[in-house]
Amino acid sequence: MQKYSNITATIALAKASFRSIMRSPSAVVFTLAFPLIFILIFGFLGGGGTRIDVGITPGSDMNNPVIGMLDKTGMIRLVKNKTKAEFDKLLEKGNVDAMIDVHRKVNSAAYSVNVIYTSASRDKGGILKSVLNNLFYDKTLKPSIAEIKENTITVREYKTIDFILPGQLGFSLLSTGVFGTAFVFLSLRQTLVIKRFFATPVKRSSIVIGEGIARIGFALIGALFIILIGHFFFGFTLVHGVFTVANMLILATLGVIVFMGFGFIISGVAKSESMVPPISNIVTLPQFLLSGTFFSIEAFPTWLQPISRALPLTYLNDAMRKVAFEGMGLWDVKFQIMILLLWGIGIYAVAVKVFKWE
């Protein structure tokens, strides 16, 4: 008799599971349709709001009428007390639309105003320009302003899609990992499919790994699809092209493995299939809302931010954005990866305890 092969069994299971997933409408809807709908909405919506964030260059004079007047317009939010390096980052991302530097001219009572616009925020830069022009011709200010020097720096444009897509991708991975895994293992157990498997020589580890391979494969195909649609139809930035995509897929794999752990736990805790969605939502919804899927975490009230920073999806989203837009390598996001791994260890420690085979 030929020797029994665990690998053959695992592959057979992965193949069966993958076929089954591809034919299950809910899996396809959660993994692809939802994220794509959000990407579409935000892709066409574009960057909302006309508030203009203007950074004050470190070392600038603060007690001058120009800055005071800008503050009063109500349209402009002044960003102070950051280092040059921090401002560069913010400018690049379009979180700061322009920089302003006001200095008293040498041997003069008048001020010199130095404005730097960025290519990332052309529209807002234009608005700021007209606001400044108005100020320049304002009767009360006129005598004190000697000149306005303007410059535009070119930065890579950070589009809405560059923020939205990684968030949607992360959420897609979260739902596939959690819902898919929880449903499959609960239903295989309850419909006695697993019992029939146990009458064959297959190992338990083969069942888990086979299911895992199928789920990861499906999630990665979904991720690739989302990235490509984002790139070719909405101009999603992939700094190093294919290399960036590969890095994103590696992060996606890590993410879905961690999230599957939640699924294993839920399949063990839930008593019936109808209990899966509510329990899964307890896991996914807070992350959907608080992990920077739609808004930058920095926009949240300060008391909420520590909660956001505790969630695994936050770190996956963060790492994805850094890799995709800033062109970082995986080593540059090792902190985010480490937090995800820690979550993974914790989740699987619980999963091993509560997972049920029968």
Partner 1 sequence: METKKAIITVKDLVKKYDDFVAVQGLSFEVYENEIFGLLGPNGAGKTTTLEIIETLRDKTSGEIIVDGFSVDKNPQEIKQIIGVQLQAAGYYPNLNLIELLELFAGLYGANIKPMEMLEKVNLQDKAKAKYKALSGGQKQRFSIATTLINQPKIIFLDEPTTGLDPQARRNLWDLITEIRNAGTTVVITTHYMDEAEQLCDRVAFVERGQIIALDTPDNLIDKLVNSGFERKKEVKKANLEDVFINLTGKEWRE
- 250 binding partner 1? (CB under 8 A): no
- 28 binding partner 1? (CB under 8 A): no
CA distance 30 to 28: 6
- 31 binding partner 1? (CB under 8 A): no
- 214 binding partner 1? (CB under 8 A): no
Instruction: Give the nearest distance from C-beta 178 to partner 1 in angstroms.
Output: 19
User: Please, which of residues 161-200 interact with partner 1 by CB under 8 A?
Assistant: 187-188, 191-193, 195-200
- 201 binding partner 1? (CB under 8 A): yes
Instruction: Give the nearest distance from C-beta 180 to partner 1 in angstroms.
Output: 13
Q: b/e string for 10-48 if b means 16 or more Cβ within 10 A?
A: beebbeebbeebeeeeebeebbbeebbebbeebbeeeee
Count of CB atoms within 10 A of residue 239's CB?
13
- 136 binding partner 1? (CB under 8 A): no
Count of CB atoms within 10 A of residue 71's CB?
12
Tokens coding 81: 């007390």
Tokens coding 20: 């089954």
Label residue 173 exposed, middle or buried (CB < 10 Å: 0-12, 13-18, 19+). buried
Pick the stretch among 18-26, 155-163, 174-182, 220-228 that binds partner 1 (CB under 8 A): 18-26
Of the pair 16, 62, the CB lying nearest partner 1 is at 16
Of the pair 222, 255, the CB lying nearest partner 1 is at 222
Of the pair 3, 271, the CB lying nearest partner 1 is at 3
Alpha-carbon separation of residue 56 from 137, 198, 302 (angstroms) = 22, 68, 23
Of the pair 28, 350, the CB lying nearest partner 1 is at 28
Instruction: Give the nearest distance from C-beta 270 to partner 1 in angstroms.
Output: 17
The residue among 280, 286, 292 whose CA lies nearest residue 320 is 292
Which DSSP letter does residue 139 get?
Answer: T
Cα-to-chain-centroid distance, residue 336? 12
The residue among 119, 127, 124 whose CA lies nearest residue 151 is 119
Of the pair 9, 328, the CB lying nearest partner 1 is at 9
Of the pair 4, 233, the CB lying nearest partner 1 is at 4
Instruction: Give the nearest distance from C-beta 280 to partner 1 in angstroms.
Output: 19
Of the pair 24, 296, the CB lying nearest partner 1 is at 24
Instruction: Give the nearest distance from C-beta 18 to partner 1 in angstroms.
Output: 11
Positions in the binding site for partner 1 (CB under 8 A): 1-2, 4-5, 8-9, 11-13, 15-17, 19-20, 23-24, 187-188, 191-193, 195-202
